[in-house]
Amino acid sequence: MKAAWAVLSVVCALSAQTKPGVDSTSAEWPMAPGSYSNTRYSTLNQVNRSNVGSLKLAWSFETGLTRGHEAAPLVVGDTMYIVTPFPNRVYAFDLNKNGGRKWEYHPTPAPAAQGVACCDTVNRGAAYSNGKIIFNTFDVHTIALDAATGKLLWKTKLGDYNLGESITMAPLVVKGKVLVGNSGGEFGVRGWVTALDENTGAIVWRAYSTGPDKDVLIGANFKPFYEDHKGGDLGLKSWMGDQWRIGGGTVWGFLSYDPEADLIYYGTGNPGPWNSEQRPGDNKWTSTIFARRPETGEAVWAYQVGPHDEWDYDSVNECILADITFQGKPRKVLLHPGRNGFVLTLDRLTGQVLAAGAFTHVNTVKGLDYKTGRPVENEVKKTAMGKTIKDICPAAPGGKDWQPGSYSPRTGLLYLPHNNLCMEWAGVKANYIAGTPYVGAEVKYYAGPGGHRGEFTAWDVANNKAAWKFPERFPIWSGTVVTAGDVVFFGTMDRWFRAVDARTGKTLWQFQTLSGIIGQPTTFLGPDGKQYVAVMCGVGGWAGAVVSAGLDTRDGTAGNGFGALMADLHKYTPRGGVLYVFSLP
């Protein structure tokens, strides 16, 4: 039976998570999302609603770089670690000495790799594991350093930037395997996630997003929930000819891990090119959520969120793991706030969609067939070559692009920084030349309903609807963190680092930074027993490239559509990169 995604018969059956799930200790922040569950929830509560207004700057550090700073500061013991955008320098700071520098490491990524940046030469952070700091460089290498000294332990090449590949994502380390995915979906690359041996850097397995089952690591134990996901070699048969070889499906978002189920979860990117008439079929397994075994890469289930994606709606967004009650019974779920504008609630053991709801204005999809799991698309908004389609909502950057949300088990709310954008789309023919853009669409973005370009939404998981929301002048391109003090931290592109009440959305504190914020805030317990909050500013990324890369705003299609949309951003922020660390007096 078909039902509107925003109107569900099951909404009252959902209740909030009752425990932090697989979160690690909140005294530290050892990986970009804080923990395997990707909740970005901290149990620290020294900083809370009653006193957050007294936060003061404890110390800061200027990186000297001017591209987008998207990484999360990590904290392990008495040391903080950051990774910069290209050239991906790593810094270690002594928390006993107000951020005194312990060491720094300067890799030497190939300068030419910057030419395949679809949006910006960003890096989303590192991971700590067993005395090692592990990170990726833009020119498709993964590097492990000794966390105490910064000494190089190993370096592994994973791909070829000459083909359009890059790496911007933060790695995840699970059971001795370093998990890394590639970027480059707009350059006709073939998406993959790769596991490396944590101790040696040797490649253990690689799972492609397209192609035959043997390449996708689909075998006898693959048990997808929906019928049209069953059958052999669908990653090949759902494409025309050999298009799967340059079909996208890159893996540049955040990965999650459930130790009890022993499954990793992640989403794949859009199919290429954007011109969907050039790639008939469902284009599996792009725009898909996968569950895999970390030691072998074997696929256990998959759910294609966007079959034959027509609007660049990727499914790379974070998969947040929570334990809830559904229809009166405990259920282990995966929350996926997607670029298509919906929060999906899936059973993370089976891949079944339990509930869904729109957190922003959506007109490309009318509903969901819960029997098949397929979206019911609005035929009026389908794209075509040689035809301009107006008022497509959300725009290609999605209801929410990469910017990660957070989830509080105390409030049962999912905190979403996101966009409020619509677009005009004109399909054109794309020609594949290795290492060059392979898009096939001219797009222009503009503000959605209300005239503002960004929103912050608190999503009520129990009732599958927004609990509260507020507008922002620009897209909110930063991540969020929520604490047991019922405070949510996030940054804006016009230079404000804010703390809001997790229950009402009321602004409790704000601090103006040197440059716009697109980074991921983190919080931790310092060696002195005090709670600190850290974030990097440095405008850029896809939304901020108009400033960081100096785009020509007279060209409405510059920056794949963001040039004209963000033409006024330079009035509100300069370029720059600074790490800020805050605490109570």
One pLDDT digit (tens) per residue for the chain, 585 residues: 333 333 333 333 333 333 333 444 589 999 999 999 999 999 999 999 999 999 999 999 999 999 999 999 999 999 999 999 999 999 999 999 999 999 999 999 999 999 999 889 999 999 999 999 999 999 999 999 999 999 999 999 999 999 999 999 999 999 999 999 999 999 999 999 999 999 999 999 999 999 999 999 999 999 999 999 999 999 999 999 999 999 999 999 999 999 999 999 999 999 999 999 999 999 999 999 999 999 999 999 999 999 999 999 999 999 999 998 887 888 999 999 999 999 999 999 999 999 999 999 999 998 889 999 999 999 999 999 989 999 999 999 999 999 999 999 999 999 999 999 999 999 999 999 999 999 999 999 999 999 999 999 999 998 899 999 999 999 999 999 999 999 999 999 999 999 999 999 999 999 999 999 999 999 999 999 999 999 999 999 999 999 998 888 887 777 888 888 999 999 999 999 999 999 999
* pTM recorded for the entire structure: 0.95
Q: Where are the domains of the chain?
A: 2-583
Q: Give the DSSP H/E element, type plus range, for residue 544.
A: helix 541-548
Tally Cβ neighbours within 10 Å of residue 462: 17
Q: Give the DSSP H/E element, type plus range, for residue 469.
A: strand 465-472
DSSP bridge partners of 454:
419, 472
Q: What pLDDT score was predicted for residue 25?
A: 55
Residue tagged active-site, from 270, 275, 420, 463: 270
583, two tokens: 């605490």
Phi and psi torsions of 139, nearest 5°: -90, 30
270 is catalytic: yes
Which CATH entry fits the domain spanning 2-583: 2.140.10.10, 3.40.50.300, 3.40.50.720, 2.60.120.380? Answer: 2.140.10.10
Chain center to CA of 544: 16
186 is catalytic: yes
472 is catalytic: no
Residue tagged active-site, from 70, 139, 309, 312: 312
Encode burial over 423-446: b for 16+ CB neighbours within 10 A, e otherwise. Answer: bbbbbeebebeebebbbbbbbbbb
- Exposure of 503 by Cβ count < 10 A (0-12 exposed, 13-18 middle, 19+ buried)? middle
Residue tagged active-site, from 186, 258, 318, 401: 186
Q: What are the C-alpha distances in Å from 98 to residues 32, 57, 63, 274, 576?
A: 22, 11, 16, 48, 22
